[in-house]
Structure 1
Amino acid sequence: MLIKNARDYEGRICDYLIADGKIRAIGTDLPEAGEVINAKGLTILPAFIDTHCHWRTPGFEYKEDIATGSAAAAAGGYTFVNLMPNTKPVCSSAEIVHEVEEKAREIGLCDANQTVSITKNFDGHTIDHLLDLPDDIKFITEDGNGVMNNATMARVFAVAAERGLTVMSHAEDREISPWDYRLAENIETVRNCHLAEYYGTRLHMCHVSTKESVDMVRQSRRRGAMVSCEVTPHHLWSMIPACSIRSTHPSARRTMWPPW
């Protein structure tokens, strides 16, 4: 196959010769071989990876399942996705992980990695299941729940460092979020970044949405911590006005004390 006249990520127009499922040559005026696709006006990019997906299998297939999630990923140019454990039952075991990943392999459109819940069944405190995870499981997360208890989270970071697990954190102190979402995110971001530094644990902060959280991740990385983060398009949009205390955007409002 020859793909002609495609732009690369730097805007250069190139031809791509593909054989046996691999790119064999990139250049201009390459000889035609097999099927020829004129990609004029299109951009060719490396395959994408999504670190934060919800395919909802098992239990919530009416929202999404592995087949529809795989098709959507492939259509968008994603060849690898990382799946959250907010399923029914909650993904707290290697058995569920392996069932989901095997089904994704059978469908064959997109590689999938299934994460495991930080606490068993999202109960907020039980972490014994982490000690029994096989070596092929590398990511744990409480997804949208977060772990409220500081002592529990400290033990999680210690176990994760020992077992080579990456903690994915949805930062939200739910006791604070009813009256200040921004403060709720910032407080848990500070806590988790400090735990990552203290224990030497890999930490990935999910869908960061405040300037302060970004600053905390940046500071931790400068001190050598293994901390990364992700943002979403709508959170990027929200962060622009959030930098000004004069903004009326909901994400920028700062309540200086609880309304009690």
Structure 2
Amino acid sequence: MARVLVGVKRVIDYAVKVRVKPDKTGVVTEGVKHSMNPFDEIAVEEAVRLKEKKVASEIIAVSCGPPQAQEVIRTALAMGVDKGIHVEVTGPEYETLQPVHVSKILAKIAQEENADIVIVGKQAIDDDCNQTAQMTAAVLNWPQATFASKIEKGDKEITVTREVDGGLETIKCKLPAVISADLRLNEPRYATLPNIMKAKKKPIKKVTPKDLGVDTTPRIQIVSVEDPPTRQAGVILPDVDTLIGKLKEGGHI
């Protein structure tokens, strides 16, 4: 049976209106509700379903971030994950932590834990990078199946239905492999109270990138973070001819 590693990220909750800091160095996170990245919830759910189907033997959730990142690991444990690993990254180091760093961390843990499958959400809703799965596969030199909307396990391979621009694509991957979860893969379960209580007793191991031999030196410099421009007010035109005239002029409507 497969050992599954799931990446979970703590992000500003999707229902919160994000505000830019006055100094434009980033967004306001203090006192703002955070939760597990929605695509990572889907990844956790899929891992738990693989275990319920007796395909997976153990599931390990990994999160990189400040001490509060343990909250999303506990959520994953309450959903059915067996144990957690918290890679503690704080302060300025966390603000410049990129997918290239996270992928190296995930790859190292996947090797240490003898994982057969790594599942992550296709992207995080804060930076929308959509890079971690692809980079993790590259670091490990494993096959990748991104944007998965269906996963079926064979003997030594998986069949994945992918969401692509032109429709659906079905591929076969030999294990070990890296998968990224798309929106239609499943509907994540709610953690029940008994499982939330059980999750409190499940182990969370704490490590640092340095312990894993991963250099988190920033590769980027944030110059400025700004709100998108305010949308211009619309104009009501009397008829189609006026509309066509305006479009021909190349003017803004």
TM-score when scaled to structure 1? 0.26
From the two aligned structures, give the one with the greater strand fraction.
2
Q: Which has the higher helix share?
A: 1
